[in-house]
Amino acid sequence: MKVGSVSAGQPRHLSRQRIAGRASLVCWLFSIVGLATLGAVLPAVPALAQKGSGATTELLQKRQVDPNAKMMLSADQLVYDYRNDQVQALGNVQIYYDGAVVEAKKIVYERGTKRLRAEGDVRLTDKDGKVITADNLDLSQDFADGFVNSLRVDTPDNMHFVATQAQRSGGDTTSFTQGSYTPCTPCKTDVTKPPLWQIKAARIIHKEKEQTIYFENASFEFLGIPIAWFPYFEAPDPSVKRKSGFLIPKFLSSSKLGVGMTVPYFWNIAPNMDVTFSPLLTSKQGVLMDAEFRHRLETGTYSIRAAGIDQLDPSAFGSDPGNRDTRGLVETHGKFNLNEQWYWGWDGYLLSDRTFLSDYSLENVGSRVATSQIFLVGQGDRSYFDARVQQFYGLTVYDVQDQQAIAAPVIDYSKVLSQSVFGGQFSYNFNFTNISRSDIDARATSAAYEIVDNSRGASNECNLTLATTPSADCLLRGMAGTYSRLSGQADWRRTMTDPLGQMWTPFANVRVDVASIDSDADNAPWLAAGDSDLIRAMPAVGLEYRYPFISVESWGTQTIQPIAQVVVRPDETEIGRFPNEDAQSLVFDDTNLFSLSKYSGYDRVEGGTRANVGVQYTANMNSGGRVDALFGQSYQLAGKNSYAYYDMANTGADSGLQDDVSDYVARLVVAPVSNFSFTTRYRFDHDTMDLKRFEVQGDTTIDKLHLSALYGQYDPQPLLGYYQLREGVVGAADYKINDRWSLSTSLRYDLALDQVDAATLGVKYMNDCIGVALTYISSYTEGTNRERDNKVLMTITLRTLGEAGFSTGLGSN
C-alpha cells in the first residue's frame, strides 16, 4: 500500500479500499482508536424499553465479544487529522465486527477526549437482528454516558422507539426528549404515516435496574389523534412479565350495578408470589373489594381470592338472592405434583348467595354450579386413579342448597393388564361413592304438580302437597340422607377371526355392589326410611359376532358388516332399593346399542338375557370421502327387563328400551370431502316407526367461512319430567375476512317455545400491535320472570401494555 508524503499538520487521505485482518495501516489506525473496544461496543446504543433500550443497553455493557474476531472496514477515505488529533473514516463507512454492522457517512475518533462519533444516517444492525438508526451517535470511551440525536430503535420483535435526543447517564439510565413508543410496524409505503397507536411524551426515562419506563407529560394517540393525556405514568419494560404497578382499567354498566370501573393493582411480592387488588367502584352499589393472592412453589401453585361489598341499594335485585346488604366470596385453588404420575389439589368456594358471581361478572360465562373439592389423581401407562371429596353450590335462583349433594368421597380406579389372560384382554375397575344430602330433590312429571313462583314462574320442582300419588307424580332426583356404595367389576374379552373372516368375540364380566343406606323419612314412598345394607352381584357371559363383507371398487372400498351380540346373565336385583344417584341419564342410541350395560353409572346394572343386533355399512373413497351407517335393535330374550322396572328417578321409562323389543336406532354419517360432514341420529318406535328422537348435525369449512349447526327433536317423556316436546336448533358461524378481521355469531332457537334462547354476534380485529373484540350477547337468565339479558362486551388489547374491557347491559325483556 502506497502512502504519499504529507506535511506536518495536514490531513492524510487514503483512497477507497477494503482493508481486513492484520493489514498494517488499519491495525495502526485502530490501535489509536482502540479497535477491539470499538468493535465490542459499537452495537451498544441505548434505547427506550426492555426489548429496545434494555436490550441495546445490555449490549452496551454486557455484550460478549469473540476476542479472536477480526474486523473489516470499508470506506471511501481514511483520514488522519494531525491538527485536530482525529482519525476519520469518510464516505459510505461500513464496519463489520463479530456479527454486527455499523453504517454511517462518517466516523470520527477524537484522541484527546477519547470519544467516538458516527455521523450521518447512522445505522447499527446487531447480530441478533436489532436495528438502530440515528442522525448521529456520540459515546464516551467507557460508553456509560452519551447522547443520540434523532434516535430510532427497531427490535426483532417489532417494538419501535423514536426520540429527537437521548442522554445516557449513570450507566443504567437513558432519558429521551420528545420520545415516542409503539409496537406497531411502520407503514412500508409511507413511513411518515402515524402508527395505529403510540405513546408520546415530553420526556421518557428508562431505568434499567428498576426495569421501569417513566413517561412525563404523555399522550396516547390512536391513528395520530390524541385520545388520552397523562401528566405522569410509569410502565414496566415490555419484556417484564412480573412487576408491581397498576393494570389497564376495566369498565361495566348494568341496571343493577349502574356504571362501574376497576383499576387493578398488581403487587409483585416475589418472583413466585403476587397479589392483585381489583376494587370495583359502582355508581349504584358502592365499592366491591376484590383481591387475589397467588403463590408458586417448587411442586405446584395455589391461589386465594376474597371479594365483598356492603351494597348501597339491595332492592335493585328485586326478589333475587342478591337483595341483601352484605355479599361476598372466598375462593381458593391449588394443584401440586407428587411425582410424574401423581398430583393432588383443591378448589374451594364460600359464597354469600347463589347469584353473587353472575351479578358482579366474577364467574365463567355460563357457569351454573361452583364445585368445592379436594382431589388426588394418578395416571399410569394402563391404569388410572381418581379420588375426590366434593361439595356443589348451585348458582341460579332456582337452586336450593340443601338439595345439593356432598360427595365424601368418590374414588375410581381402573387397570388394564399388559399381559394377556387366556389369550384375551383382562381389565378391572372399582368405584366407591359416599354422598349425603339434607333435603330431597323432587321433580314434577307434569305441569300440574310444579311449584310456581309468582315472580319467577314454573321451576319444575314438584309440589308434594298437590301430588296425589307422589311416586307417580314426582321423581326423586336426589335422596335425603347418606348413601355409601362400593362397586367392583372385572372384564375379559378375546377376539378371534376364522378362515372365512368371521370375527368371534367371547367375553365375561362380573359386577358386585355393596351399599349402606341411611334414608330419611322424606324419601318415602320412593325409598324405604331407615338404615339398610344391600348387596348385588351381576355375572355375565356373552358372545359378539361380526362378519365384514368387503368390496373394492375403482372409487374406493365399501364394507357391510352384520353384528350380533348375546349377553346371558341373571335378573337385576334390589331394583328400587338401591338409590339411583349416578345412573339417571339414559339415552338409547347408536353409541350404546352394543354396550354391555346401557346405564350411565353404577347405581343401576342391566340384567336378564339380551340380544343386540345391527348392520353397519362403511365406505371409504379414494378422494378422502367417507360414509358410515348403522341400523339396529335390542331384544330382551329372557328374565327381567331392567329398563321396564323403574327406580326413584324412573330411569328407563320412555327410553325406547322399556319393552322387550326395543325401538330402532340408526346413524348416518356422510363426509364427501374433508371439509364437510353431515351426521344424523334416529330412534324410531318399534311398532309404528314414529320418530321419537332425531338429531342432525353439520359441519363445513368453505374457504374462510366455518359453519356448524345442530337440530334436535325429542318427544315428551313425562315419566322423566319432560312433559313437553323439545325441539331446537343451535348454529354457529365464523368468517375470517382477512388476516386481521373476523366475524362470529351463534344462535340457539327453541322451536317448541318459538323464541331465541341465546344469541351472540361478535367482530374482532387483530394485528401485530392491537386487538379489538366487540361482542353482543343475548340470553335468558335463570332469574325473575325468565328475563332475557342483553349485554355488550368490548375488549381492547394493546400489545406490551395489556388488556382493557368494558361491558354494559342493554336492558332485559
Q: What is the pLDDT of residue 457?
A: 60
Q: What is the pLDDT of residue 45?
A: 31
| Confidence label for 351 from pLDDT (cuts 50, 70 and 90) | very high
pLDDT of residue 458 exceeding 80, the answer is no
pLDDT of residue 50 exceeding 80, the answer is no
- By CB atoms closer than 10 A (0-12, 13-18, 19+), residue 501 is exposed
pLDDT of residue 550 exceeding 90, the answer is yes
| Confidence label for 653 from pLDDT (cuts 50, 70 and 90) | very high
Domain span at 268: 264-439
> Could you tell me whether strands 258-262 and 273-277 are parallel, antiparallel, or unpaired per DSSP bridges?
unpaired
What is the enclosing helix (H) or strand (E) of 29? helix 24-33
pLDDT of residue 434 exceeding 90, the answer is yes
Pair (47, 191) in one structural domain: yes
Q: What is the pLDDT of residue 486?
A: 98
- By CB atoms closer than 10 A (0-12, 13-18, 19+), residue 112 is exposed
Question: Is the residue at 686 inside a domain?
Answer: no
Q: What does the alpha-carbon distance between residue 177 and residue 271 come to, in Å, rounded to a whole number? A: 33
Asked if residues 592 and 614 have their Cβ atoms less than 8 Å apart, the reply is: no
DSSP class of residue 55 equals H
Q: What does the alpha-carbon distance between residue 681 and residue 663 come to, in Å, rounded to a whole number? A: 13
Tallying the residues shown for the chain, one arrives at: 813
What is the amino acid identity at position 650? N
Phi then psi dihedrals of residue 470, to 5 deg = -55, -40
How many other C-beta atoms lie within 10 A of the C-beta of residue 698?
Answer: 16
Q: Write the pLDDT tens digit of every residue in 592-637.
A: 999 999 999 999 999 999 999 999 999 999 988 999 999 999 999 9
Pair (658, 573) in one structural domain: yes
Q: Which of 632, 655, 677 is the last residue of a domain?
A: 677
Closest CA to 282 of 389, 219, 344, 360: 360
| Confidence label for 456 from pLDDT (cuts 50, 70 and 90) | low
Q: What is the pLDDT of residue 548?
A: 96
Question: Is the residue at 27 inside a domain?
Answer: yes
pLDDT of residue 38 exceeding 60, the answer is no
The model's pTM is 0.76
Highest mean pLDDT among 52-66, 176-190, 231-245, 631-645: 631-645
Pair (155, 304) in one structural domain: no
Question: Is the residue at 461 inside a domain?
Answer: no
DSSP string covering 789-803: EEEEEEEEEETTTEE
| Confidence label for 228 from pLDDT (cuts 50, 70 and 90) | confident
What is the enclosing helix (H) or strand (E) of 147? strand 146-154
pLDDT of residue 64 exceeding 70, the answer is no
Residue bearing the bigger pLDDT, 167 or 14 = 167
Q: What is the pLDDT of residue 37?
A: 33
Is the CA virtual torsion 267, 272, 273, 276 positive or negative? positive
For residue 156, give the C-alpha cell: 426483532
Mean pLDDT of the chain: 84
Which percentage of the chain shows pLDDT scores above 70?
85
Range 508-541 burial, b when 16+ CB lie within 10 A, else e? bbbbebebebebbebbeebbebeeeeeebebebe
Pair (180, 63) in one structural domain: yes
Poorest-confidence range of 63-72, 416-425, 431-440, 651-660? Answer: 63-72
Q: Write the pLDDT tens digit of every residue in 132-142.
A: 788 887 765 44
Domain count for the chain? 3
Q: What does the alpha-carbon distance between residue 94 and residue 199 come to, in Å, rounded to a whole number? A: 33
Q: What is the pLDDT of residue 125?
A: 79
| Confidence label for 65 from pLDDT (cuts 50, 70 and 90) | low
Q: What is the pLDDT of residue 191?
A: 67
Question: Is the residue at 258 inside a domain?
Answer: no
Q: Which of 643, 660, 677 is the last residue of a domain?
A: 677
Q: Write the pLDDT tens digit of every residue in 291-338.
A: 999 999 999 999 999 999 999 999 998 888 899 999 999 999 999 999
Q: How much is the average pLDDT of 196-224? A: 84
Range 394-422 burial, b when 16+ CB lie within 10 A, else e? bbebebeeebbbebbbbbbbeeeeeeeee
| Confidence label for 645 from pLDDT (cuts 50, 70 and 90) | very high
Pair (384, 496) in one structural domain: no
Q: What is the pLDDT of residue 455?
A: 56
* Angle, alpha carbons 56-61-65 (nearest 5°): 90
pLDDT of residue 5 exceeding 60, the answer is no
Question: Is the residue at 565 inside a domain?
Answer: yes
pLDDT of residue 476 exceeding 90, the answer is yes
- By CB atoms closer than 10 A (0-12, 13-18, 19+), residue 754 is exposed
How many other C-beta atoms lie within 10 A of the C-beta of residue 231?
Answer: 8
- Domain with residue 129: its CATH number is 2.60.450.10
Q: Write the pLDDT tens digit of every residue in 99-143.
A: 778 888 988 888 777 777 888 888 877 776 777 788 887 765 444
Q: How much is the average pLDDT of 85-90? A: 84
Q: What is the pLDDT of residue 771?
A: 87
What is the amino acid identity at position 492? W
Q: What is the pLDDT of residue 157?
A: 64
Poorest-confidence range of 264-278, 354-368, 505-519? Answer: 354-368
Q: Write the pLDDT tens digit of every residue in 443-452.
A: 998 888 888 7
How many other C-beta atoms lie within 10 A of the C-beta of residue 105?
Answer: 17
pLDDT of residue 588 exceeding 60, the answer is yes
Pair (214, 268) in one structural domain: no
For residue 658, give the C-alpha cell: 322399556
Q: How much is the average pLDDT of 334-351? A: 96
How many other C-beta atoms lie within 10 A of the C-beta of residue 1?
Answer: 10
For residue 406, give the C-alpha cell: 356432598
Pair (672, 558) in one structural domain: yes
DSSP string covering 758-788: EEEEEEEEE-SSEEEEEEEEEEE-SSGGGPE
> What does each C-alpha distance from 653 to 472, 602, 657, 719 come to in angstroms?
12, 18, 8, 6
Q: What is the pLDDT of residue 90?
A: 87
Query: Who contacts 5 (Cβ-Cβ below 8 Å, separation ≥6)?
Result: none
Q: Which of 209, 241, 273 is the last residue of a domain?
A: 241
pLDDT of residue 195 exceeding 70, the answer is yes
Residue bearing the bigger pLDDT, 379 or 162 = 379
Question: Is the residue at 144 inside a domain?
Answer: yes
Pair (102, 50) in one structural domain: yes
For residue 662, give the C-alpha cell: 326395543
Pair (424, 285) in one structural domain: yes
Closest CA to 468 of 531, 525, 407, 517: 525
Residue bearing the bigger pLDDT, 61 or 595 = 595
Question: Is the residue at 398 inside a domain?
Answer: yes
- The residues facing 270 across adjacent strands are 273
Question: Is the residue at 476 inside a domain?
Answer: no
Pair (41, 147) in one structural domain: yes
Q: How much is the average pLDDT of 348-372? A: 84
Query: Who contacts 493 (Cβ-Cβ below 8 Å, separation ≥6)?
Result: 424, 425, 505, 506, 507, 508
Q: Write the pLDDT tens digit of every residue in 663-692.
A: 999 999 999 988 899 999 999 999 999 999
Pair (415, 505) in one structural domain: no
Q: What is the pLDDT of residue 429?
A: 97
For residue 165, give the C-alpha cell: 435526543
Pair (47, 181) in one structural domain: yes
